[in-house]
Amino acid sequence: AQSVTQLGSHVSVSEGALVLLRCNYSSSVPPYLFWYVQYPNQGLQLLLKYTTGATLVKGINGFEAEFKKSETSFHLTKPSAHMSDAAEYFCAVSDRDTPLVFGKGTRLSVIA
Amino acid sequence: DSGVTQTPKHLITATGQRVTLRCSPRSGDLSVYWYQQSLDQGLQFLIQYYNGEERAKGNILERFSAQQFPDLHSELNLSSLELGDSALYFCASSALRGGGNEQFFGPGTRLTVL
């Protein structure tokens, strides 16, 4: 069975600082990996995804993530945090035939 | 706006009752997924339909059922409601049925069981 662990239920950064949200996965087959963002009172929006190919994936709003098979990780980064980045972030894993399995989420706060 | 619509936005009901949540996928999407989001369980996959057929089942209780109609909209039926069923229920859609496809999420239906 697949699973996702997001380290840190709450991360707080200063505006302009590096954002790093950690995600480790478990999968017995080559995984597909996703990061979704959820703003208050809204549904989830896809930030980026990795299926095959280049391991460094660029997404919307300046976010990127790197698939590291040896570390079973897919951490999300952004060089400079903006106030509008404050939201809940979810890492998810699937494979060719299975639905998404989500982590418990990390709430990102950005301090002015 | 993801293109996925869900009705109603909010639902307040009593224990033991039955409710129906409705989802219209993005135009052209054949797959519909239902998720439950609660504080203690997080985001849990419930069930997936692809072009009218059940494709995958997750942590869906026997009191819950779903279907996808010929026009591709889907309904999630929750019966014999309990306090613990209070949650946000999301519908998502994707063009294809496989796991690697982007899912587009609706705004959710917030269910409160009193």
List helix spans (H) across chain B. Answer: none
User: What count of other Cβ atoms lies within 10 Å of the Cβ of residue A45?
Assistant: 16
Q: How confident is the model at residue B98 (pLDDT cuts 50, 70, 90)?
A: low
Chain B contact for A100 (CB, 8 A cutoff): yes
Which of A5, A44, A50 is most worth mutating to test chain B (most B CB atoms within 10 A of its CB)? Answer: A44
Chain B contact for A44 (CB, 8 A cutoff): yes
Q: What is the pLDDT along chain A (112 residues), one digit of tens a residue?
A: 889 999 999 999 999 999 999 999 998 888 899 999 999 888 899 999 998 888 999 999 999 999 999 999 999 999 999 999 999 999 999 887 778 899 999 999 999 9
Q: Residue B98: which of A41, A46, A96 has the nearest Cβ? A: A96
Q: Would you call B100 and A102 a contact, using CB atoms and an 8 Å cutoff?
A: no
B114 min Cα distance to partner chain A (Å): 21
Residue B103 DSSP label = P
What 3-state DSSP class applies to A84? Answer: helix
Residue-wise pLDDT for B75-90, tens only, equals 999 999 999 999 999 9
